[in-house]
Structure 1
Amino acid sequence: MSKKPKQIKFKLEGFNNLTKTLSFNIYDICYAKTEQQAYIEYIDDAYRAERLTEILSNVAEIIGANILNIARQDYEPQGASVTMLISEESLAFERLSNAQAPGPLPDAIVAHLDKSHLTVHTYPESHPDNGISTFRADIDVSTCGRISPLKALNYLIHSFDSDIVIMDYRVRGFTRDKTGRKHYIDHKINSIQNYLAKDTKARYQMIDVNVYQEKIFHTKMMLKAFDLDNYLFELQVSDLSSLKRDKIEKRLRREMMEIFYAQNIPNF
């Protein structure tokens, strides 16, 4: 039987002033050569402010936070934003854990926390020439105190159609214990990957870039499996010639690699 990882425990002098921030981008890639506007309207409607608010509300519950305030907005011609202010639940401490283990998966906006917040912004976009459309969601979960955003990772990744996920986690500031000693982190972490479920890790190619002494952790993920039918909007592979299929697949793979490696790649 594997042992549970030990958590760092110390008696604080006053409030836990550590700020823990999880920021990540989720990308959904699609080919819609002649129906790009229809795709943009479809994905924009699928992730309207109302649905984003529901997702963030569930995140607040997962990390043990009270929602104090919500602001949300759908934009024209597309895009949406939600912001929440949150606070720690007064009775949640016994069930809160920052241990390096995956958080819950989903069952099937902007909100405010007390000194903490959740935000999400969406960016549907397309290229008129090559038929590629990309939907991006930027999500930030920033907490102050004991609660950590890492337990919400699995839920968030599964709440979107995620071809590529790029995540950053950073702990800022310090908190003092009773002896006056400063603590710059209050939980053990080697990698963001330790907070992902096994099936999630199995589905993605992943790369870590961590700066441990600065409490900075970076992980990016790209879906391993590639089924062209999953990337076509109002089009089927059977409708395409083999030459056309190859061209579309190359465009899609190139788009994914450019986002994953954050650089433009020559035609191949």
Structure 2
Amino acid sequence: MKDKYKLYGFNNLTKSLSFNIYDVCYAKSNREQWDYIAYIDEQYNSERLTNILLKVTDMIGANVLNISKQDYDPQGASVTLLIAEESMVPFKDGETVVAHLDKSHVTVHTYPEYHPDNSIATFRVDIDVATCGEITPLSTLDFLINSFDSDIITMDYHVRGFTRDIAGKKIFIDHHISSIQDYIDDEILQKYDAIDINMYQSNIFHTKMLIKELDLQNYLFKTDVYELPPKERLLISDNLRKEMIEIFSGTNVY
């Protein structure tokens, strides 16, 4: 915040960011689908995911209290970080003490899966960042988007509770926001079609993004695009785009 509110006590607003990405791929045979899932599982194992969350934690100015991580069999991984911050809490007599305030948690989960009929495999990552205080987790969005191959992105941001200024007036949100897109770099936004569904009175913000350009080679696993006849390329591209549209819209369109 450029102009900080003068608060009675400390800022106890809860700010929650839910960040979800989908990476879509074409894997022709059952064997290739399982190989793709194994590849993704290795690429985004709990160790790498932990490093991503540690960076997020550093960006929001929090300290790690505890790390819990797990790789699952046959696939998937989860990481949870409990985080906190050190804050100076003013008292009425003007003295200050250092208080250890809970800043909540950061979590990530992965979900590899594949379509039974059209050879489309999907890798989903869910990240949740919950903070308490002045700093908003929205500042981490560019880093998170660039940390994954993101074909579809859905984001939810919610500010809950209230704090008070020194006159006792309730403050339900301490920063201006009209859209989550305001916190995403313009270069990134140009690559996506994006829509907002916001409930301003409740401080709830929702944004969905769908990749605009589809370079088929980037979506083929263990296959070169020039090995495929033109008709098959069109069919694969069509199936990929249909899968993305359904995920983006949250509806079985086709």
TM-score (norm 2): 0.91
User: Counterpart in 2 of 1:260?
Assistant: 248
The whole-number CA distance in structure 1 between the counterparts of 2:192 and 2:139 is: 19
Shift, 1:251, TM fit:
0.6
Aligned-pair identity in percent equals 62
What secondary structure, in the 3-state scheme, does the structure 2 residue paired with 1:45 have? helix
Of 32-41 and 241-250, more deviation after overlay is shown by 241-250
Of residues 78, 83, 87 in structure 2, which corresponds to 1:81? 78
Q: Work out which of the two has the higher radius of gyration on C-alpha atoms and give 1 or 2.
A: 2
The whole-number CA distance in structure 1 between the counterparts of 2:6 and 2:115 is: 55
The 8 Å contact of residues 153 and 209 in structure 2, kept in 1 or not, is answered as yes
Aligned partner of 1:177: which letter?
Answer: D
Of residues 237, 240, 243 in structure 1, which corresponds to 2:228? 240
Shift, 1:89, TM fit:
4.6
User: Counterpart in 1 of 2:148?
Assistant: 160
Of residues 24, 27, 40 in structure 2, which corresponds to 1:29? 24
User: Counterpart in 2 of 1:98?
Assistant: none
User: Counterpart in 1 of 2:47?
Assistant: 50
The whole-number CA distance in structure 2 between the counterparts of 1:75 and 1:147 is: 33
The 8 Å contact of residues 29 and 163 in structure 1, kept in 2 or not, is answered as yes
| Pair 235,89 (structure 1): closer, same or farther in 2 beyond 3 Å | farther
Q: How does 1:1-268 map to 2 (within 5 A)?
A: 7=2, 9-34=4-29, 35-90=32-87, 114-266=102-254
The whole-number CA distance in structure 2 between the counterparts of 1:126 and 1:8 is: 49
TM-score (norm 1): 0.87
Number of aligned positions between the proteins: 240
Q: CA RMSD in A?
A: 1.4
What secondary structure, in the 3-state scheme, does the structure 2 residue paired with 1:114 have? strand
The whole-number CA distance in structure 2 between the counterparts of 1:41 and 1:81 is: 16
The whole-number CA distance in structure 1 between the counterparts of 2:43 and 2:186 is: 27
CA deviations on 1:166-204 (whole Å, 9 max, x unpaired) are 000000000011111100001111111111111101111
Aligned partner of 1:213: which letter?
Answer: Q
Shift, 1:148, TM fit:
1.2
The 8 Å contact of residues 194 and 210 in structure 2, kept in 1 or not, is answered as yes
Moved over 6 A (4+): none
The whole-number CA distance in structure 2 between the counterparts of 1:72 and 1:185 is: 33
The 8 Å contact of residues 62 and 103 in structure 2, kept in 1 or not, is answered as no
The whole-number CA distance in structure 1 between the counterparts of 2:161 and 2:153 is: 27
What secondary structure, in the 3-state scheme, does the structure 2 residue paired with 1:28 have? strand
